[in-house]
Amino acid sequence: MIKRLRFRGVNLRHLSVSGHDLRIIDRYITLEFIKVFAICVMGFILVFLLVEITDKIKYYFQYNPPGKLMLKYFLVKLPGYLFFAIPLGILLAGMLALLIMARHSELIAMQANGIDALSIARPVLIIGLAASFIMFLADETIIPWSNRYSEYIQNVEIAGKADTTLVKRDQIWIHSSDSIIHIDKFDKSRQSLDKVSVIRWNADYDFVERIFADKGKWWNTHWMFYGANRIVRSPDGKFVLETLPSMIGSLKKTPEDFDRAETPTKEMNMVQLGAYIDKTIEEGQTPTRYLVDWHDKIAFPMVCLIMAALSVPFAIKVSPRGGGIAVGLGLSLVVAFSYWIAHTMFIALGHGGYIPPIAAAWGANVVFGLGATVLLLQAGT
């Protein structure tokens, strides 16, 4: 215990509260936090990995992919695991690191020398704020790529699907062995397509036809194109233009296929999502769901700071003796799941249009942030 109560020559039992000593204490708490944080994050990643392996076991038996390909898939998914493991790790590490310090009477020594809970919380809060900033940058850069590329590996490289659908904002591109199809916009509610372009060729890669259609509408089992211009090649090699008020489209995908193909917001950054929202508004539609997700890209990374703030008062209040560590672990899981449930509920209400988008994205942050502030202030008195 005496060894732990000394850090770089500072005796925590007889500590004078000077600026130099406080900086040493900050570094000490930071180091203890990072040690536990690294273990917690690795543990959460292992749990996520086991869940993912269990979920993807059907691919092992159905497609029998090589081990290198599966390793590539899990490596690409790693940023997504970290995105959710970091907030959990901060909450658990903050609580456990301080409980371990309390168990060795270090927190008591600090408080006895006039160091309040807010000073103890400062290094943890700084780490939480830095983690929030890093998560925001990651969600704007590597996370959309990770989500998009992992889907490509799963559906194309592992499952070996014949065609791939690349969706870029509101533009849908469908590539297959004998055609390229471009669709400017898919309207799920009306089951309609805007500005459809189809280019087809035969097995020898000779041009077969090109179709331009203003609209496409799903009728029972097939697509109908309206306002179509069709260019075909005659047997003598000449190109013939046909103008048709309507025609049966050669598109084999169903509306359900296009619904799945619509770019998820998790595969877009804020700039891309903002452009999609602007386009939707220009078309006279209400982009409520996308506005919620746009605000959530700012709000959710702040969970790291909130989890850091919540970890300190709980750790100070919990008795370090006996089952203190187990209680801290249980409290961490309860707080984390409570936040996730509240956040999911607010987002669902926002998607449904019951509350404004900004309230949906920030609702859980406001509730838990205010709770963390009150608990911190109470712990500091």
pLDDT for 204: 80
Beta pairing class for 222-233 and 179-187: unpaired
The CA distances from residue 238 to 36, 198, 247, 339, 358, in Å, are: 73, 19, 22, 66, 58
3-state DSSP assignment of residue 128: helix
113: exposed, middle or buried (Cβ count in 10 Å: 0-12, 13-18, 19+): middle
The pTM of the whole model exceeds 0.85:
no
pLDDT for 8: 43
Cβ neighbours of residue 125 under 8 Å, at least 6 residues apart? 305, 308, 309, 312
Instruction: Spell out the SS3 assignment of 169-194.
Output: CCEEEEEECCEEEEEEEEECCCCEEE
pLDDT for 380: 59
d(CA 108, CA 5): 11
Contact at 8 Å (CB) between 173 and 182? yes
Tokens 């990651």 found at = 138
Question: CA 355, 361, 362 angle in degrees (round to 5)?
Answer: 100
The pLDDT profile of the chain, 381 residues, written as one tens digit per residue, is: 434 444 544 455 455 555 566 788 888 889 999 999 999 999 999 999 999 888 888 777 888 888 898 899 999 999 999 999 999 999 999 888 888 887 777 777 777 777 777 888 889 999 999 999 999 999 999 999 998 899 888 888 887 765 555 444 456 777 777 788 888 888 877 788 889 998 888 888 788 889 999 999 998 888 999 999 998 887 777 888 888 888 988 787 777 766 555 567 888 899 999 988 887 776 556 788 899 999 999 999 999 999 999 888 877 776 655 556 677 778 888 888 999 999 999 999 999 899 999 999 999 999 999 999 998 888 755
d(CA 142, CA 153): 16
d(CA 94, CA 175): 49
Helix (H) / strand (E) element for 197: namely: strand 192-201
Half-sphere exposure at residue 47, Cβ-oriented, CA atoms within 13 angstroms: 11
Annotate 70-84 with b (16+ C-beta within 10 A) or e (fewer): bebbbebbbbbbbbb
Q: What is the pLDDT of residues 212-232, one digit of tens each?
A: 999 999 988 889 999 999 988
Around Cβ 256, how many Cβ atoms within 10 Å? 11
Contacts of residues 318-327 at CB distance under 8 Å and 24 or more positions apart, as own/partner, are 318/95, 318/99, 320/99, 320/100, 320/102, 320/103, 320/107, 321/103, 324/99, 324/102, 324/103, 325/96, 325/99, 325/100, 325/103
Beta pairing class for 171-176 and 207-219: unpaired
Helix (H) / strand (E) element for 379: namely: helix 357-379
Half-sphere exposure at residue 118, Cβ-oriented, CA atoms within 13 angstroms: 7
Cβ neighbours of residue 307 under 8 Å, at least 6 residues apart? 87, 88, 90, 91, 94, 128, 335, 336, 339
pLDDT for 320: 57
**Greatest distance between any 2 Cα atoms in the chain:** 100
d(CA 182, CA 166): 10
Q: What is the pLDDT of residues 334-373, one digit of tens each?
A: 888 999 999 999 999 999 899 999 999 999 999 999 999 9
